[in-house]
Every structure is written in C-alpha cells, then in structure tokens.
Amino acid sequence: MAETQQRDLPAHRSTEEIAAHPRFPVARKALLEAMLALYEHDPFLNRLLLEAGRNVLFIVLICLHARYDEDDRDTWPTLGLVKAAMAAFGLASPRRVADLVGRLLRTGYLAQRLSPQDRRVRILTPTSRMIAQDQDWLVAHYVPLQVLFPHPGYAPIMRRDRAFHRQHRRAAAGLLPLGARIMKRNPLILRFMQREAGMMVLIKLMHLAGSREDVTCEISYSDIGARFGVSRTQVRKVAQEAEKEGLLRLIRRGSQFVRLRHKFIAAFDHFIADTMAGHDLVYDLARRARARGHS
C-alpha cells in the first residue's frame, strides 16, 4: 500500500498553526469533553478500544475497507493485509492482530465474507455498528477543528454524511504511514496510549485541571478507574509512570491526588495539534476527491 505522494497533498493546517491559534485552549476543552462523552462510563467500549493497538486496528480496518476494490486483489481487506498495515505502527504482533480481529468479529463490529472472485479468501467487512462508532469517533476528533476554523468548517463530518465518511476513510488509507509517524513523534503520549485506558486517564486529568492549567492545583484520581472500567491499581500505575516521566507529581505516597506539570500540558497539546493537522489534511483530501466526482 503506497503512501500518498507529498506533491499530491493539498494545503492544510499545520501543527504549529493549530497550536498557536488563540482559541486552542477552547478547542482542547471541546476535544476532552467529546472524548469523555464517548468513553466515560462505558466499560465495554473502553475494554474494546482504549489501548493504542486496538484503537489503531479499528481505524485500519475501516480505512482498508473504504479503499476495497474487488477488481484489485491488492486492496482486498484480508487478515494478511491488515497485519501488514499494522506492522508500520509497531503496536501489535501479527498474532495479537489476529486475536483482536477475532474479538471484533465476536462482538459484532466486524464481519467476514468470501470473496466473489476467490472463494478461498475471506474479506473483513465493518458492520453498521462499527461504521457508526467510527463516525462518532471522527466527530469527536473534528470538534476541536470546528472550534478553530468554523468557516467553512467540517460539516460533512459533523453531520455524519455516510458517503463523505467513506471518502474520508479512503483518503486516510493512503496516509496510514503518516499516522504512524505522528504517533512516533509524540513518544510520551504514545507510551500511555499503549497502557490499558492510559490515554483516557490522561484526558480525564487534563479535564479535571480545567482551563486554569494551574500546576499547583491538586487533582483527585480516586474515581477515574470506575469511570472507565479499570481498577484503581491500574490508574495508580499510570499515575506512577507519569510521575517517573516528569508529567505530574503525586502529592504524597499512598494518596490519590496529583499535580500536573507543564511538561504534561506541553506534550499533550503538541499531540493534539499534531493529530488535528493530520485530520485537517485527510478532510481536504476527501473534499478534493468529492469535488472531482470520485465515489
């Protein structure tokens, strides 16, 4: 699967432009609230998706199916193609990918059918449930861009336009290597994305800190585990690891209060701006494809 060539990329918002926008704190808050609305108090969804390997696999499956052409065998979304696409991210072994695909099949997010052209081959197909979840995920990630750039905005995403969703994910399929690079150039955040519910713990801490970004503010994480269906021990491990990385400070041994450090806020904001720039690029590619009349 070839990556979209740099010369073919339309003009789009850069990480630096997004991070420097005067309304960036408002956009960050909108993203935090949108993500919490999706995952908070939904233990099943948390266990299914809230770890980097699982979340990326979900997106890869959607993207590969969006570019599926029955007449082009190289695009057939088979387990082998999924494993190859996942290899660039380095988040899951081939065996782990197979296990995760199996779980999505068992939970009704994914189906498989025999290829009409080769009955030996099984095509992995997102169900309506999986597509709806992906549309919700995209809305949550475009909310902050809509806050920053409301004109002309991102209306097809925000209204969950089904045809545009497919165009968007087809465009994203050509940029999967870019997605892998974005994750790798944000290593601190990636480290927590690889932990069970690690990213949502960080998101909740940022949300609890509020707009003040006051690193002297004491934040309790006592009920975060219950919010995301993980144990207090797991949340404490995430907090302890974050302290080792210099992202926060535990107030005192054995307590469930922390103070965020500026390093945490800077790393989190860079990751948000980086991913927003990527989403803006994919949106522009999809919009250009629609203007050209590509289905």
pLDDT of 171 higher than 70: yes
Please check whether residue 155 is in contact with residue 86, taking contact to mean a CB–CB distance below 8 angstroms.
Answer: no
pTM over 0.85: yes
Q: Given pLDDT bands bounded at 50, 70 and 90, which one contains residue 35?
A: very high
| Cβ contacts of 92 within 8 Å, gap of 6 or more | 53, 56, 57, 86, 100
Residue bearing the bigger pLDDT, 5 or 230:
230
So what's the pLDDT on residue 253? 60
Task: Read off the pLDDT of residues 205-229 as tens digits, 9 standing for 90 and up.
Answer: 999 887 655 556 788 888 898 888 8
Please check whether residue 206 is in contact with residue 258, taking contact to mean a CB–CB distance below 8 angstroms.
Answer: no
Across the chain, what does the average pLDDT equal?
89
pLDDT (average), residues 65-93: 94
Task: Read off the pLDDT of residues 240-273 as tens digits, 9 standing for 90 and up.
Answer: 899 999 998 888 666 688 889 999 999 999 999 9
So what's the pLDDT on residue 251? 84
User: Which CATH number is associated with domain 190-264?
Assistant: 1.10.10.10
d(Cα 185, Cα 279) in Å, to the nearest integer? 16
37-51, 77-91, 263-277: range with lowest mean pLDDT: 37-51
So what's the pLDDT on residue 1? 39
CA angle 264-55-75, nearest 5°? 135
So what's the pLDDT on residue 212? 52
Residue bearing the bigger pLDDT, 256 or 286:
286
Measuring CA to CA, which residue among 91, 81, 107, 1 is closest to residue 54?
91
So what's the pLDDT on residue 293? 77
Measuring CA to CA, which residue among 182, 192, 200, 191 is closest to residue 282?
182
d(Cα 52, Cα 96) in Å, to the nearest integer? 12
Q: Given pLDDT bands bounded at 50, 70 and 90, which one contains residue 2?
A: very low
Residue with tokens 């994910």: 169
pLDDT (average), residues 143-170: 96
d(Cα 201, Cα 235) in Å, to the nearest integer? 7
Task: Read off the pLDDT of residues 84-120 as tens digits, 9 standing for 90 and up.
Answer: 999 989 888 999 999 999 999 999 999 999 998 888 9
Overall residue count recorded for the chain in this entry: 295
Q: Given pLDDT bands bounded at 50, 70 and 90, which one contains residue 15?
A: very high
Strand pairing category for 219-220 and 110-114: unpaired
Phi, psi of 111 (to 5 degrees): -130, 165
**DSSP secondary structure string for all residues of the chain:** -PPPPGGGPPP---HHHHHH-TTHHHHHHHHHHHHHHHHTT-HHHHHHH-SHHHHHHHHHHHHHHHT--TT-GGG---HHHHHHHHHTTTSS-HHHHHHHHHHHHHTTSEEEEE-SS-TT-EEEEE-HHHHHHHHHHHHHHHHHHHHH-TTT--HHHHTT-HHHHHHHHHHHHTTHHHHHHHHHT-HHHHHHHTSTTHHHHHHHHHHHHGGG--TTS-EE-TTHHHHHT--HHHHHHHHHHHHHTTSEEESSTT-SEEEE-HHHHHHHHHHHHHHHHHHHHHHHHHHHHHHTT--
pLDDT of 4 higher than 50: no
Chain centre distance of CA 73 = 28
So what's the pLDDT on residue 91? 87
pLDDT of 5 higher than 50: no
Domain with CATH 1.10.10.10 in the chain: 190-264
67-81, 159-173, 201-215: range with lowest mean pLDDT: 201-215
So what's the pLDDT on residue 51? 78
Chain centre distance of CA 42 = 17
